Structure formats: C-alpha cells, structure tokens
Amino acid sequence: VTWRFALEEIEGSVQHRYALEFKDRIERISDGNILVDVFPYGSIGTSLQLTDLAREGSVHLAFASPGHLANVIPEVGVFTLHYLLSDDEEVNRGVLASDDLKQLFHEPYEEQGLKLHGFVPEGWMVWTANKPLRSPADFDGLTIRTMTSDIAEETYKTYGATTSQVPFSQVYSDLQLRRIDGQANPVFAIEEMGFYEVQGVMTFARPAQFVTSVVSNTSWFDALPEDQKLWLEDAMDEIAPLAYEVQAELNASRLDTIKENSSIRVVELTEEERDRFREASRPARKAYIRMAGERGAAILDQLLTMVSTTESAIPA
C-alpha cells in the first residue's frame, strides 16, 4: 500500500525534512509493505487545496498550517495571534507537544474529517518589507501579505496595516509586482522562497512562532490496522524532537545564506519596541473570540494558562 503525504512547503523545507524522516521510519518498520509518497508544495495546490484533498481522502496525510486552516477551523486561528506564546522556545515546545492541547483541538478537527496528530513549531516569524518595522506606526500605509484566513489579517490590522490574503506560491511575484509591501515567515522560508531577493529589510520582532499541524483523513486513519496506527503515531512522536532541531538548524544556517547572497538589512527590536507591538496587538484576541466562538475562547484561555504555568515551572 501507499500512503500519500502532501506538504505546504518545497523540497529542503522543515516540512520536507519531517516527511522524509516519517517515510523512512514507516517504510522500515513495515518491511517495505507500506510506501510513503511525499508531495512537496507545488503541483497539487495551495494549502487550502491540500486541506480539501485530505478531507476527501485523496491524500492521506498533510500539513495544515493554522494561518490557512483557520479558514476551515476558526479555532486554530489562535496561533496567528501575536505575543501569546512564550519568548522561551523550550516553553512553547512543551506547550505545543502537550496532549492537553491536542485534546482541545480534537473535536474541531474531527468535525472537518481530519485527525490532528500534532503541532509542529517551525521557528519565529520574521517580518520583511522595504523598511524597518520598529513600531506599529511603521505599518501605516503598508500592504502586508497574510496567510489565507480572516483571522490571520487581524493582528496586522491592529498595527494599522492594509492586509491581503495570498497563497504561499504567489507571495514572491506579488512582492515583485508591488501588489504587497511586506510579509511574515520564518527565516528558512524567506530563504527558500527567495523573498529576500525582493525585500530590503528583515525585522526580528519575535511576534509568534510559525506553528503547523500534521493531519490525516479521519476515515482513512480509523480504518488502518491497529499495528499501522501505532507505527504512524510512534513515528510522529519520535520525529517531534527531531523537527525542533531541524527548524533551529535551518533557520540559523539560512540566515547566513541570505546575508551572503544579498545586502538585506537585519533589524532586531528592543524589548521596549516589542512591548509596543504586544500592546497594540491585544484587540486581535477579541476578533479571534468573535470568529472562533466559545470553543475558541476556551482554547485561548487554556493556552495562556499553559504558557504561564510552564514558564513558572522553569527555575530562574
């Protein structure tokens, strides 16, 4: 049999490295009886199209990033909010890996025919534009590309930006054509998609981690023999810590590549500057609750509690 696994990122990306590890483990443990076919981003469509293919079962496994998926599952839009997770990546890693968190999202995914296997952090979001973005006022008059859900636009609106929902594959040309002035993504993606070639400044404000989720088609998963279900879940548990290392390594090494290949300016915000964004972004939480309802409000509360409990459990 063949398991089809669709990615929202191109070859060499964090998702691609994850999928190759998964393929390797599954093909080995099944003695080659299961083959995993990996489809990197490209010919089979945008993130939302991939989600549709997973819901109808044409692909069995897929990455579904909240920034896009919130269009279908409003509750996951919580991950597009800024200054919600910790500054401490260890804390975020613990929170995102927790079964409690997965449990909260179980129902919303299930209702869409998707089984949630886990959340994977891919690194800090970095803003690119043709000027430094040191305060919310700097967003005034800029058109910022967001992922393709309404909630993804909200935080940038609180900063005063004009927003535009654009699929990942169209971001480069929209920047080139000046249809948008800026965008946000982790460093590895800014490098592999070439965005740095058409942008002058990278601003590091650490507003949010890029978080993605790994899903499968529920009916497909439920029909798998028990041993195969276990193989799948064990493989994902094993890869989680590895994915964390991979994103750290790629985000660091590709910043060097960007610096070698361009004269892009890198701006690191001070804590005071970050605080201004933290404050300005707050109304987006209300917008999230409006869009994601009671279940979304409960998720937001839980997430905030988990972050602060995990933070206070760490010795100073």
Stretch 127-186 residues interacting with ligand 6CS (CB under 6 A): 147, 168, 185-186
The pair of three-digit structure tokens given for residue 115, joined into one six-digit string: 């089984």
Q: Nearest residue to ligand 6CS, using CB?
A: 168
Nearer to ligand 6CS, 210 or 277 (CB): 210
B/e letters for 12-42, b = 16+ CB within 10 Å, e = fewer, are ebbbbbbbebbbebbeebbeeebebebbbbe
Asked if 8 is part of the footprint of ligand 6CS (rule: CB under 6 A), the reply reads yes
Provide the minimum distance between the beta carbon of 133 and ligand 6CS in the complex, in angstroms, as a whole number: 17
Asked if 65 is part of the footprint of ligand 6CS (rule: CB under 6 A), the reply reads yes
Stretch 98-117 residues interacting with ligand 6CS (CB under 6 A): none
Provide the minimum distance between the beta carbon of 185 and ligand 6CS in the complex, in angstroms, as a whole number: 5
Cβ count within 10 A of residue 313: 9
Asked if 9 is part of the footprint of ligand 6CS (rule: CB under 6 A), the reply reads yes
* Residue selected from 26, 189, 214, 236 as contacting ligand 6CS according to rule CB under 6 A: 189
Q: How many residues bind ligand 6CS, per CB under 6 A?
A: 12
Asked if 66 is part of the footprint of ligand 6CS (rule: CB under 6 A), the reply reads no
Tell me the CA distances in angstroms from 265 to 130, 139, 174, 204, one per residue in order. 9, 17, 21, 11
Lookup result for tokens 């929902």: 165
- Sign of the alpha-carbon torsion through 72, 74, 75, 76: positive
How remote is the C-alpha of 169 from its chain's centroid? 15
Residues that bind ligand 6CS (CB under 6 A): 8-9, 47, 65, 68, 122, 147, 168, 185-186, 189, 210
